[in-house]
Structure 1
């Protein structure tokens, strides 16, 4: 077996970003690092959006930024100016190209195009078996999620953020490209938490995603029919679909960190880096990968990386409510946006809020369901 100091399984956002951070830090210059993925050129397989205060790490490769967001429901409609924040979009092709460009400048990195079958922890490291070969790594960082680990348990709720998106191009100006539609719950809810997400790139081009927070997925035609009807209801008829995307992101407070061990650290969605209550992953991954780099310089036992915070419990309670009362999602989010400042909401979701800000968010939502869920978890 070929031996490496570090093996990274998967070259998606979390795996590639971790490799990139290693390539930029001289601490890792004498370390051998292997990246394994079944495909290197992934193209625009993802679109990530996130909010950020001021200049950010990825500003040079952004597709679009917005200074305003719109929130809509049958109960409450408002356009917010979100200064000092900006809402930002990044397409994965530009992201991958930028990161690979730097990684390729380092001779201690190796990429192998292969499929991972198994990896097994040994006393001094990890054996990785692929379709074509086997490798040994002193430490392994795994971004390949195994959905059975959270689907096969019932202690923690599981719902999905699932969506289909259309990039559309219109003949005439049809979009306000200064405003991103953050959540529009005016689409039929049909007993679930359903909303439209609209990201105008310019006045004639936009990404529209029909998104659900629910337990069950839909037939593809139902997602696409809803997008078509939404465009029609907004008097947009002369358009062509230039690209499509789809996704299914698990939303769960399952304790992924308990799957970590001395030599194996699960990262990205596989490590529970997805924000359980929202499905947002990208920004959290940029933060977590920095923390991994700092951790590796002082610790050898990867099982000690994760630290529990109050936000895990907040997310758990919120998911309990959404899982058991999915039809009330629009009312919950409407109440939060109506009663709270966007800056407070963003800080809370970024897990940067003070106790006073936590209380403001907690008091902004209808209390009954959350009180029920809270005491149920205490019993």
Structure 2
């Protein structure tokens, strides 16, 4: 511990992507050079426990960390299949170990930042400070930013649907050139849907190495063996039989339009997935975290009431309607996505999913999908 004091200006509970990136941003900004910052987590994450992918136009701030980039993406289904050039965008991939290493290197150099390896057991908020209780001691902070999830907050309510984006992935290596590493498969629905929205996600790292991921958008999870059987079956169907599994990953991302801002208070802000920073309709989190932490860095220079950080957006309503449709008609996901990718321009889709589209571009997306289910969901929410 660099600082023996138990009182801090900011406490960051959880050192995953959102907490660590927030600490990094504050450490790089001279405005916060006099602020004392505490990071509390059970350990410093250093492994490849996450694979993050995102699309971005031009050069980005994390390009030096990229594992792979693709200039084209493939979408496949029974009704529409196409390899799509995405310029000026590129689809980018980062493994978490490189990301953690860079950020910790910078954060550890800042004498104002202290890391404590401990589990957060309880949080209490007073009029002017927050108490963060751990097995070691109780820490006090003027503001708390927590990425520690509490799934019961959205599981225990019925107003907003909850869909899980759950997946298992294999990193495999083959003995001969097998993959077209010039394109990433974003969604391949050419697999049994079984009443759900199920697709394969394929990221070729080279001609002989790829991440093959079996992904579902559904209310219920599967037995682990079911994911692996689906991956093995997909590889066999594509005549890929001579391979070695070198690494595995598994995840479950909540997709919900629950209003996470209701969890925030004057001195406590929930961040990352715990704060609703995951894009509700897609499960993408990394770019949202990059944007949100940058916005939070600017906000802290102007305002001290963390309840005012969240801004209402038309996109939350769009996500809500989409998730209503997906929750009530889960087997129709392939048709919905197929219509969108077939009728809408890929740049319009990316802008819409990045929440940067105009109302005209929103309309193009809305008109690209089969209207019946969305009209039903709209009027149900309206009345």
Regarding TM over 0.5, the answer is yes
Structure 2 residue aligned with 1:205: 209
Residues 1:323 and 2:324 aligned together: no
Residues 1:90 and 2:91 aligned together: no
1:222-281 CA-to-partner distances (Å, cap 9, x unmatched) read 000000011111111110000000000000000001111000000000100000000000
Structure 2 residue aligned with 1:304: 308
Within a 5 Å distance, the mapping from 1:7-26 to structure 2 comes to 7-26=11-30
In 1, Cα distance between the equivalents of 2:223 and 2:302?
49
Q: TM-score scaled by structure 2?
A: 0.98
1:169-189 CA-to-partner distances (Å, cap 9, x unmatched) read 000011000000000001110
In 1, Cα distance between the equivalents of 2:100 and 2:146?
18
1:42: how far off? 3.6
Structure 1 residue aligned with 2:36: 32
Structure 2 residue aligned with 1:162: 166
Q: Secondary structure at the match of 1:175?
A: coil
1:75-117 CA-to-partner distances (Å, cap 9, x unmatched) read 1100000000000000000000000111111100000111111
1:131: how far off? 2.0
Q: Of 131, 134, 140, which residue of structure 1 is paired with 2:135?
A: 131
In 1, Cα distance between the equivalents of 2:137 and 2:61?
37
Structure 1 residue aligned with 2:241: 237
Which consecutive aligned stretches of 4+ in structure 1 deviate over 4 angstroms post-superposition? none
Q: TM-score scaled by structure 1?
A: 0.99
In 2, Cα distance between the equivalents of 1:260 and 1:153?
17
1:39: how far off? 1.3
Residues 1:107 and 2:114 aligned together: no
1:186-235 CA-to-partner distances (Å, cap 9, x unmatched) read 11100000000000000000001100000000000100000001111111
RMSD between aligned residues? 0.6
Residue pair 2:15, 2:45 contacting (<8 A) in 1 also: no
1:301-348 CA-to-partner distances (Å, cap 9, x unmatched) read 001000001000000000000000000000000000000010000000
Q: What is the count of residue pairs matched by the alignment?
A: 379
Residue pair 2:202, 2:212 contacting (<8 A) in 1 also: yes
- Of the structure 1 ranges 126-135 and 292-301, higher mean CA displacement relative to structure 2 is found in 126-135
Structure 1 residue aligned with 2:175: 171
In 1, Cα distance between the equivalents of 2:79 and 2:134?
53
